[in-house]
């Protein structure tokens, strides 16, 4: 008796996408540097030209954030990224004559890029461009909430890459994400590396897939302001950062720890710039609104401060940009000490900078280990003590955390994927860069002086493709039909099975959205 095995919905589609990506990655890995740069430049040009369109689309589809701020992120993650890495050569072999070694770049191959709902298109831009710079193929799997804008963006970038000479299939996108399809993509051995940016459950699933994964953990950013800080400048940077895209970046400040000697003055300066300081009663209503039953209300992600205040029954000036919620103890039981992806900033007063450092460390013990911290101070001793004590891998000084820790406004690597290192249970300890998607084969000659190492300068094993765009090959029995069209015929009674699978997918997607 032959047992019929019904595959989960999406598995055949995943296999098709990955097979096509494998072919494209192998073809693209033979391209020379000049051709790669031309392709990357054209893709960045198209991405930058559509920055406004996709910013508006993302806010319309997800309800998160601020259009003009998403425009900034889209531009920074298109032309900004390319300009940053323009002089970085990940194609040409590197000759080290004194050490008698030659390093030959080896791209990862097929990159599976999981993108979040909070920074949807900017992350698509970022991961697609990093993959193209490093001569990899990329399959984009967007968050279901941001499916439409991300799918359109990935398709636009893929079309631009192919028009500029990249292999067909170098950029693909999951247009209808489902749990079985994404799981199949993550678990398939043809996926060479997973770039996981999003919720904890998704990142853990990527690490459990059996394939190499670069995942990042959640943030919960403390910001310390000591008595030596420039209070006017600090207030401006804090409010601007917390209000940027309504706090959807995981690098946004979560808890303000301020030295008591300057607390009143700092809060007045922040109020002048659009911050509203809640009294105790308002703070309690705000806490219950943002953390009903002690859990963050995800419907408030990226919402305006005035909308959140209205929901909490707090009357605020119409130009209010952020809400300040004072509390006393940084403990796990205090919801306001946890991450808040909305313009609500917890405020804790401390007696000294040393006490503030311990308080900031307590914030990170609750959540956000390995991620980011911010300090505003003119005392290098305080800055050094802070950086040595807080368990994070990036400390932004006298700059807003939202953009500063992401490498915009500082000289950290500009990135939409923030590695949290070992302390944050991540394989990456810095901001994701194109070099992280390349390994190097090292040719190592004997260190015996009698062994001659020949000259390797100018020897590059890659070349421009012979045809403008290498076509995806068709099987000999396809009768001219593209591979994507080769699907087994459905049995006549498949409609009921199809409907049942559709129902399961809808249930799974609903769970993701609500989670």
R_g of the chain computed on alpha carbons: 25
Task: Verify whether residue 208 is a known catalytic residue.
Answer: no
SS percent in the chain: helix, strand, coil, step 5: 45, 15, 40
* CA neighbor of 176 nearest in space, from 512, 509, 504, 511: 509
In angstroms, rounded to a whole number, what is the distance separating the alpha carbons of residues 1 and 422? 51
Sign of CA pseudo-dihedral 133, 136, 139, 141:
negative
**Region class of 68: left (phi > 0), else alpha (psi between -120 and 50), else beta:** alpha
The two structure tokens encoding residue 194 = 């997973």
Asked whether the beta carbons of 93 and 456 are under 8 A apart, the reply is yes
* CA neighbor of 461 nearest in space, from 10, 31, 78: 31
Cβ-in-10-Å burial (0-12, 13-18, 19+) of 163 comes to middle
The two structure tokens encoding residue 441 = 């084969």
Asked whether the beta carbons of 127 and 113 are under 8 A apart, the reply is yes
* CA neighbor of 413 nearest in space, from 68, 80, 38: 80
Q: Which of 77, 149, 150, 250 is catalytic?
A: 250
Inter-residue long-range contacts of 51-59, CB under 8 Å, 24+ positions, other chains counted: 51/75, 51/78, 54/121, 54/149, 54/152, 54/153, 55/121, 57/121, 57/148, 57/149, 57/152, 58/120, 58/121, 58/146, 58/149
* Phi (first) and psi of residue 178, to 5 degrees: -145, 160
Asked whether the beta carbons of 101 and 87 are under 8 A apart, the reply is no
Three-state SS annotation for 464-487: CCCCCCCCCCCCCCCCCCCHHHCC
Residues carrying an active site annotation: 250
């Amino acid at each position: 008796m032959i047992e019929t095995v019904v595959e989960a919905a999406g598995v055949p589609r995943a296999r098709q996408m990955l097979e096509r990506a494998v072919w494209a990655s192998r073809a693209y890995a033979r391209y020379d540097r000049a051709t790669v740069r031309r392709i990357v430049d054209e893709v960045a040009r198209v991405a930058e030209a559509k920055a406004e369109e996709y910013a508006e689309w993302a806010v319309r589809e997800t309800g998160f954030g601020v259009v003009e701020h998403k425009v900034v992120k889209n531009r920074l993650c298109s032309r900004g990224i390319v300009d940053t890495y323009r002089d970085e050569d990940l194609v040409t072999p590197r000759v080290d004559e004194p050490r008698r070694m030659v390093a030959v770049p080896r791209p990862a191959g097929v990159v599976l890029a999981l993108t979040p709902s909070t920074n949807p298109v900017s992350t698509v831009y970022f991961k697609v461009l990093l993959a193209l710079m490093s001569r990899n193929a990329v399959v984009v799997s967007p968050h279901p909430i941001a499916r439409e804008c991300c799918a359109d963006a990935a398709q636009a970038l893929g079309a631009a890459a192919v028009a500029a000479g990249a292999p067909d299939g170098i950029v693909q996108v999951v247009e209808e994400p489902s749990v079985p399809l994404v799981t199949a993509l993550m678990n398939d051995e043809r996926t060479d590396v997973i770039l996981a940016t999003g919720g904890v459950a998704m990142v853990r699933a990527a690490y459990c897939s059996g394939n190499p994964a670069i995942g990042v953990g959640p943030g919960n950013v403390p910001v310390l302001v000591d008595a030596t800080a420039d209070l006017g400048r600090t207030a401006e940077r804090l409010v601007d950062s917390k209000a940027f895209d309504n706090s959807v970046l995981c690098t946004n400040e979560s808890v303000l720890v301020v030295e008591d000697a300057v607390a009143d003055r700092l809060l007045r300066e922040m109020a002048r710039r659009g911050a509203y300081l809640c009294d105790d009663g308002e703070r309690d209503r705000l806490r219950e609104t943002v953390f009903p039953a002690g859990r963050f209300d995800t419907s408030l992600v990226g919402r305006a401060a005035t909308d959140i205040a209205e929901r909490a029954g707090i009357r605020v000036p119409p130009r209010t940009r952020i809400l300040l919620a004072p509390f006393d103890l940084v403990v796990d039981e205090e919801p306001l000490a946890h991450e808040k992806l909305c313009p609500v900033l917890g405020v804790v007063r401390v007696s000294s900078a040393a006490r503030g450092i311990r308080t900031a460390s307590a914030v990170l013990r609750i959540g956000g280990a390995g991620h980011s911290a911010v300090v505003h101070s003119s005392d290098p001793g305080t800055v050094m003590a802070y950086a040595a004590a807080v368990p994070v891998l990036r400390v932004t000084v006298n700059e807003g955390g939202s953009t500063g820790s992401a490498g915009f406004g500082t000289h950290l690597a500009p990135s939409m994927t923030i590695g949290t290192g070992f302390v944050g249970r991540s394989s990456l300890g810095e901001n994701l860069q194109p070099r992280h998607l390349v390994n190097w084969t090292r040719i190592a000659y004997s260190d015996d002086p009698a062994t001659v190492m020949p000259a390797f300068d100018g020897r590059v094993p890659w070349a421009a493709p012979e045809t403008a765009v290498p076509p995806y090959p068709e099987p000999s029995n396809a009768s001219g039909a593209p591979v994507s069209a080769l699907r087994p015929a459905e049995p006549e009674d498949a409609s009921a099975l199809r409907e049942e699978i559709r129902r399961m997918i809808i249930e799974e997607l609903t769970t993701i959205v609500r989670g």
